[in-house]
Structure 1
Amino acid sequence: MPEQQFAEYAHEIESTIKIGLFKRNMTQKELAELIHANPQQLNRAIKGDMTPKSRELREQVARVLNL
């Protein structure tokens, strides 16, 4: 059950970020450049990776996209 809850939460985070990007007419690559992040690492963070770096990137994304 916890795995299912985590998967649902990760999907919710991903959807929120994708909608934020869409509203700002911005691509993930542009966002990565803006926050000085590797595009692949940003993608892992958006997909729900739980490493400290991914958590930090999600915080930066939330600030940039006003989430």
Structure 2
Amino acid sequence: MNNNEDTNKDIKMVYTPNGGGIKLNTKTNEFLFNQREKPTGKYTKEYTKALLEAVNIVDNSPYKNFMSLNI
């Protein structure tokens, strides 16, 4: 296994409440953003902490695999 494959297994896609996805390096807990032409504002440690807490809540939820009956 090369270093690139090792890095890829440490990457997890995290979905935000608005439906967007952000890649998360699970070893470093750093979010990997796509580079944009226009800056979108400052990204702070508070945002990272809040999003990681939300991911933890969803990952440990007993309703994580809930599927509606679509009656």
TM interval, shorter chain, is 0.3 to 0.5
Which structure is higher in RCO with an 8 Å CA cutoff and minimum separation 6? 1
Q: Write 1 or 2 for the structure with the bigger share of strand.
A: 2
Q: TM-score under structure 2 normalisation?
A: 0.33
